[in-house]
Structures are given as C-alpha cells and as structure tokens.
Amino acid sequence: MEGFNSGSSSSKPNHVYLSFRGEYITYKFIDRLWAALESNDLNTFLDDKKLDPCDSIFLPPHFLKAIQQSNISIIVFTKNYASSIWCLQELSEIAAHPSDVRDQSNSFEKAFAEHEQRFTENLSDVHNWRLAMKRVAIRPGWYTPHK
C-alpha cells in the first residue's frame, strides 16, 4: 500500500498518530487520509503492516513512543477494531492524553496562568475559557453511524 510508513525512519516528529484495524475499505480511507495529512506537512505515524501482530501481544515500543510524542491522534473505529490487541493498547495509551486538556496540566496549565496574568481585569473570561476546554475534553470525537 502506497504511502504507509511507521514514521520511524523520518527525522521529523510525528504530528498525527493514526490508529485503525484494517480491512480493504478501511485501507482506501486511511490511504487517502494519510495522503491528505502528509500533503499538509503533517508527519503522520502509520503502521507499515510489515510487523505481524501475532508475533507479540505487546505493542512495539516505537508505537508507544509515537503516540506519546504526537500532537493529534485519530482513531478510526471499524467493526473489527476491538478484535486487535494492538488497537486496544493504542487506544489505552491515546486515552491517557486528554487528561492534560481536561485537567489543564503541562502546557495548558502554563497557558492559562499566562492568560490570568494578562487579563487580570477579565478573569471571568479566562474562567469561561477553562470551562469550555474542560467540556470539550470530555466529549467524544466525530461519529458517523454505519448504515
């Protein structure tokens, strides 16, 4: 399949991590999504399918590293997604990340502290922004029902 790579050979950091369980129709969708992301200069980590998930029940370390270092994770849930132990491990690792947004820790904490210092006269605005971010962090992503 053209365009698929694990990102491990690239010196660019991964901006996007794609998690999916492949079937023919999924590959067509993922290939187009990957190409669109890459054409917009977003280095995208994607399983190169050279590794056989049957070789190990543990997700390879470079997958975990890619998830942890990516700015965005996109999960494509197909009907067979949950049958893959690797997909479930990816999902678990990805699910740990929104806590930074929800809890407003790390870079989010720093940004809001700066806003509070800058907008001392409008702390209610900063408070509203914090609440909005917390609400968005607990919402599920985009869902398209299968017909």
Residues of each domain in the chain carrying CATH 3.40.50.10140: 1-96
Catalytic positions are 90
At residue 17 the predicted structure's pLDDT band, cuts being 50, 70 and 90, is: very high
The answer to whether 4 touches 32, Cβ cutoff 8 Å, is no
Torsion angle, alpha carbons of 85, 90, 93, 95, to 10: -100
pLDDT computed for residue 5 by the predictor = 45
Q: What is the mean pLDDT of the chain?
A: 79
Question: Quick one: average pLDDT of 20-46?
Answer: 86
pLDDT computed for residue 6 by the predictor = 46
Beta-carbon contacts of residue 43 (< 8 Å; ≥ 6 apart): 7, 10, 12, 13, 14, 15, 16
At residue 56 the predicted structure's pLDDT band, cuts being 50, 70 and 90, is: low
d(CA 95, CA 5): 23
pLDDT computed for residue 146 by the predictor = 47
Q: State which amino acid sits at residue 22.
A: G
Instruction: Give the CATH architecture of domain 1-96.
Output: 3-Layer(aba) Sandwich (3.40)
Task: Count CA within 13 A, CB hemisphere, residue 55.
Answer: 7
83 CB-contact burial (10 Å; exposed 0-12 / middle 13-18 / buried 19+): exposed
User: Terminal CA-to-CA distance of the chain, rounded, Å?
Assistant: 27
pLDDT computed for residue 55 by the predictor = 56
At residue 104 the predicted structure's pLDDT band, cuts being 50, 70 and 90, is: confident
Tokens of 72: 């965005």
147, pLDDT greater than 60: no
pTM of the model: 0.65
4, pLDDT greater than 50: no
Question: Quick one: average pLDDT of 114-130?
Answer: 92
Neighbours of 122 (CB within 10 A): 12
d(CA 140, CA 103): 16
pLDDT computed for residue 8 by the predictor = 41
pLDDT computed for residue 54 by the predictor = 57
